[in-house]
Chain A
């Protein structure tokens, strides 16, 4: 019994550094940021005079922030929908006993392994529209060469669709991940289910629509949450690819936060943006975390 006790103490001591580090660096720092967002700190030197919720009021009235929120919504929708459709399509196609499946899978997934900065640099040149005087460049040039010139657009230089261009690059990077999630889900479905449906005369489309999709619903949920929280946090890609753009066409809250805090020294405003971002992510993640842990406990 005495031996058990000293080991109990040791076990807690071994876990303690991690718990303390997370308590300070995650929860303590979040609290600090939330507090800073309620102060008048607007220069290099900290000023912790309380200002109530005025930073939030000013923030939501700020035109740049309103554009940012709209951009986030557009980006999230385009990014999520295209990742889900491409991911599901590729997973279903790859599940048809494909020769060279491993090769295709690796090709679809490799962008996951590189930095958003690299992706941003490459896609900035690919989606550089060129100019009417000097000629098209990048994808537009490719469209010209393939006789698809009618598809040409201004990409990220066009304020109306700028943020969609960023979402295309993000989809290139993350859709393979969605494919991998769906493929893992499909592989867990027993073949007999599909065979039975085929015997009953169901078409391949009906099998997908009425059998596979309902079973894959939890995978879709995970994908939506993982991709959704990435799109709320998107930052690096914007930095490397476009910056805030003309009239903040490609600006996002995470970029605004960094810009206003570390370039503008508006610390309280930066802290307010960060807190809004955190709340948005928490609304998405916390129910999912609780649910995952609960279902795990039941197993």
Chain B
């Protein structure tokens, strides 16, 4: 053994030791984040006979889907409603609101980057402020206004169309921000070249910007889908009518009821979380970009 190896050996083992520590800490944190998911899944799969708060951490004896069935369909005998109606309400709310928001944001972003006018740089931060406000500060006028508006026989207060309108309007700042940042990275030369070829304001959008917009649309749509699906404040304020309530309100009612067993509540929570979780699992990359835009550092 040479002198050199003598010196190196302790260092190598200390480096190895450091790596072990490193992974231990990382795994410990992973367990912390996954712990609620474990309880969610395990509890939902237990049979009603084996569910007990005092055995919360034990795995189920087999796969029982009774809790999910009860959370989804409700129970007439026990007198509570299932989440199926709420889940579908959320679908009917989230899909149109997401699409309209994205289209609108795209147009705003296009004008703000490629058709700048005097004052547009002042206008933009004024728009942005709208995404940070506590919505409590607009709730009272919002309810008053929605109660008065009646378009083509559609009542806005207490209905899904009213909630769609609300989300689309308060989604303007974030969707505009993401598209503005995205279109800012599209070279102006492309637009100028198209203009020399005789393209007007519409055809530049249709033939130059829009075909390049796919990634922008994915980021915006994931962002809006997640925040509208997860919203509770607007949903609880605008839809007092149980028939029109989205999933977050339905889950909160389910969980706030003393007659609903806690395993049914857990199953309901997983049902409510599933759509956005799936989006996160399959499209996580784009989700990240939306998050970063949310902190203005996109």
Beta-carbon contact of B26 and A145 below 8 Å: no
Determine the chain A residues whose CB is within 8 A of the CB of B176 once the complex forms.
18
Task: Count A-B pairs with CB separation below 8 Å.
Answer: 259
Tell me if B160 is interfacial: C-beta within 8 Å of chain A.
no
Write the nearest CB–CB distance from A108 to chain B, whole angstroms: 6
Contact: A138 with B33, CB < 8 Å?
A: no
B36 A122 Cβ-Cβ under 8 A: yes
Give the interface segment out of B3-11, B62-70, B209-217, B288-296. B288-296
Select B141's contact among A33, A106, A134, beta carbons within 8 Å: A33
Most buried by B among A121, A232, A286, A292: A121
Q: Is the CB of B140 within 8 A of A267?
A: yes
Contact between chains at A117 and B117 (CB < 8 Å): no
Task: Please name all residues of chain A whose beta carbon is closer than 8 Å to the beta carbon of B236 when the two chains form the complex.
Answer: 239, 258
Interface segment among A156-164, A206-214, A271-279: the answer is A271-279
Q: Which residues of B contact A240 (CB under 8 A)?
A: 232, 251-252, 255
Q: Which of B23, B252, B276, B292 contacts A184 (CB 8 A)?
A: B292
A18 pairs with B130, CB closer than 8 A: no
Q: What chain A residues lie within 8 Å of B53 (beta carbons)?
A: 125, 128, 130, 137-138
- Bitwise, B218-257 to A at CB < 8 A (1) or not (0) is 0000000010011111001100000000001001100100
User: Smallest CB-CB separation from B202: which chain A residue?
Assistant: A10
Q: A26-B130, A130-B53, A130-B54 are in contact. Are A125 and B125 (CB under 8 A)?
A: no
The answer for the CA separation of A251 and B119 in the assembled complex, in Å, is: 42
Cross-chain contact of A114 among B25, B201, B252, B276 (Cβ < 8 A): B276
Q: Which residues of the other chain, A, contact B265 by a CB distance below 8 angstroms? A: 121, 125
Least Cβ distance of B169 to chain A in Å?
5
Contacts of A113 in B (CB 8 A): 226, 276-277, 279-280, 287
Q: Annotate B156-177 by CB proximity to A: 1 below 8 A, 0 otherwise.
A: 0000000000000110110010
Closest Cβ–Cβ distance, residue B297 to chain A (whole Å): 6
B121 within 8 A of A: yes
CA distance A274 to B141 in the complex (A): 12
Question: Taking the nearest CB of chain B, how far is it from the CB of A155, in angstroms?
Answer: 14
Q: Is the CB of A25 within 8 A of B288?
A: no
**Which residues of the partner chain A approach B108 to less than 8 Å between Cβ atoms?**
14-15, 18
Residues of A within 8 A of B139 (CB): 33, 258, 261, 274
Nearest CB on B from A11, distance (A)? 4
Task: List A contacts of B172 (CB < 8 A).
Answer: 18, 21-22
Alpha-carbon distance between A274 and B142 when the two chains are bound, in angstroms: 13
Decide if A52 is an interface residue (CB 8 Å cutoff).
no
8 Å CB interface, A52-108 against B:
86, 89-90, 93-94, 96, 98, 104, 106-108
Q: Which are the 3 A-B pairs with shortest beta-carbon distances?
A: A115-B230, A113-B280, A11-B115
B interface with A by C-beta (< 8 Å):
22-23, 25-26, 29-30, 32-36, 39-40, 53-54, 56-57, 104, 107-108, 110-112, 115, 117, 121, 123-130, 132-145, 169-170, 172-173, 176, 200-202, 226, 229-233, 236-237, 248, 251-252, 255, 262, 265-266, 268-269, 272-273, 276-277, 279-281, 284, 287-288, 291-292, 294-297
A-B pairs with beta carbons under 8 Å apart, 7 shown: A21-B172, A36-B140, A113-B226, A113-B279, A118-B269, A281-B133, A293-B125
With A19-B127, A98-B23, A125-B262 already in contact, 13 other A-B pairs whose C-beta atoms are closer than 8 Å: A22-B127, A22-B130, A107-B33, A114-B230, A114-B276, A118-B272, A121-B265, A184-B297, A239-B232, A274-B134, A274-B137, A278-B137, A281-B134
